[in-house]
């Protein structure tokens, strides 16, 4: 008769592997729950940041003093004459005379390029009669 083996109380490598997998699964579930919480909270956090930024802009505007129109709204910074890299100066558009001058220079360079191409073609034509 074959004697039945009694299950031993010692742990096998398979049991250790199973325990490690269960622990890893639990960690992943906790991480997934944390990420789902972050995803749910993201719109609220974004709205809070936008509100804080808007309030900061309003506070900065009030510290600078009166604006053209005393208003509690945030003005478009493109039209704000008090800020900018030039210290409040608007960007200067080129004058009509400057535009005309640059256009004439461009046309002169194009004509010069055309003459150069014609000269090169004539020189090459004399070298290789065809």
Is the pTM higher than 0.85? The answer reads no
pLDDT at 10 over 60: yes
**Is the CB of residue 77 less than 8 Å from the CB of residue 83?**
yes
Pairwise pLDDT comparison (126 vs 11), residue with the higher score: 11
What pLDDT shows up at residue 110?
Answer: 98
The per-residue pLDDT for range 18-69, each reduced to its tens digit, is: 999 999 999 999 999 999 999 999 999 999 999 999 999 888 877 776 555 5
**Is the CB of residue 103 less than 8 Å from the CB of residue 97?**
no
């Amino acid at each position: 008769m074959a004697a039945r083996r009694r299950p031993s109380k010692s742990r096998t490598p398979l049991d250790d592997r199973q325990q490690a997998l269960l622990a890893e699964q639990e960690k992943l579930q906790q991480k997934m729950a944390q990420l789902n919480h972050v995803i749910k909270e993201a719109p609220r956090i974004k709205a809070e940041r936008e509100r804080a930024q808007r309030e900061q802009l309003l506070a900065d505007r009030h510290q600078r003093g009166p604006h053209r129109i005393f208003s509690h709204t945030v003005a478009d910074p493109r039209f704000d004459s008090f800020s900018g890299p030039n210290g409040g100066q608007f960007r200067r558009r080129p004058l009509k005379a400057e535009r005309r001058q640059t256009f004439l220079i461009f046309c002169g360079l194009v004509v010069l390029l055309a003459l150069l191409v014609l000269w090169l073609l004539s020189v090459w034509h004399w070298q290789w009669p065809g």
